[in-house]
């Protein structure tokens, strides 16, 4: 009997339109530093590689704006570590205040679950925040594993993050599919030798579709697409 099939989902830009809350928390940190605020569109380009990369990117971009306007070089009033700590203190309790599941996400997940797919999340977001989000949307019970950016010794694009999540879910790489919207998702799937489905509705560049096993325009397309990629 073949191993159960496992569908592994990225979170930000795949299951969740998290940009509104991430951007608001970035602006909160920038305001505390007395730096120019960034738009949602600017913050969107920084999502996908974990909180530290997001916060550091926001600080550098805002500082560059300030220096361009004033013509005077300046330094950050706090360390990267303190900025990340303040960001998480602001973000964790409000991660779903403005964020919403992408259209069709819940129905697609429940359909896959009913078709005997195991489900997992592999995200560079901290595990505690990811679990809190799933709980807020009453989806936690659907997932066999949640691999956060701090759950293992490595994180996406390192394949060990995805492989650790697969193992935690009781799956095997040969019977797993990764669904995501960014290059770290693709690279982790490539390293783990798993099919990769590109989420066109997310935050990633459309050029990634050419490197994917398949691509989908919306979450509602995922159940049928996964069935074609990996029949029971």
Contact 147, 178 (CB under 8 A): no
CA-based torsion, 111, 113, 116, 119: positive or negative? positive
Neighbouring C-alpha atoms within 13 Å toward the C-beta of 19 = 16
- Which of the following is catalytic: 10, 12, 185, 221? 10
The torsion angles phi and psi of 178, rounded to 5 degrees, stand at: -100, 130
Within 8 A by CB and 6+ apart from 12, the residues are 18, 19, 22, 47, 48, 123, 125, 203
Distance from C-alpha of 201 to C-alpha of 212, rounded to nearest angstrom: 14
Catalytic residue check, 17: no
Q: Which residue has the tokens 């403005």?
A: 98
| Residues classed as catalytic | 10
């Amino acid at each position: 009997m073949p191993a159960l099939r496992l569908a592994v989902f990225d979170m930000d830009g795949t299951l969740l339109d998290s940009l509104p809350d991430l951007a608001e928390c970035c602006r909160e940190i920038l305001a505390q530093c007395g730096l120019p605020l960034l738009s949602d569109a600017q913050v969107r380009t920084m999502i996908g590689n974990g909180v530290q990369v997001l916060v550091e990117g926001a600080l550098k971009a805002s500082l560059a704006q300030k220096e361009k306007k004033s013509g005077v070089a300046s330094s950050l009033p706090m360390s990267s570590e303190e900025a990340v700590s303040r960001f998480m203190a602001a973000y964790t309790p409000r991660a779903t205040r403005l964020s919403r599941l992408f259209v069709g996400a819940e129905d697609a997940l429940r359909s896959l679950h009913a078709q005997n797919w195991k489900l997992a999340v592999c995200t560079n977001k901290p595990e505690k925040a990811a679990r809190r989000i799933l709980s807020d949307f009453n989806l936690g019970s659907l997932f066999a594993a949640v691999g956060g950016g701090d759950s293992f010794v490595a994180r996406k694009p390192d394949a060990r993050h995805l492989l650790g999540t697969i193992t935690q879910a009781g799956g095997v790489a040969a019977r797993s599919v990764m669904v995501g919207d960014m290059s770290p998702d693709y690279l982790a799937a490539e390293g783990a030798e798993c099919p990769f489905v590109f989420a066109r509705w997310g935050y990633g560049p459309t050029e990634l579709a050419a490197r994917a096993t398949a691509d989908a325009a919306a979450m509602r397309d995922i159940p049928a697409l996964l069935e074609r990629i990996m029949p029971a």
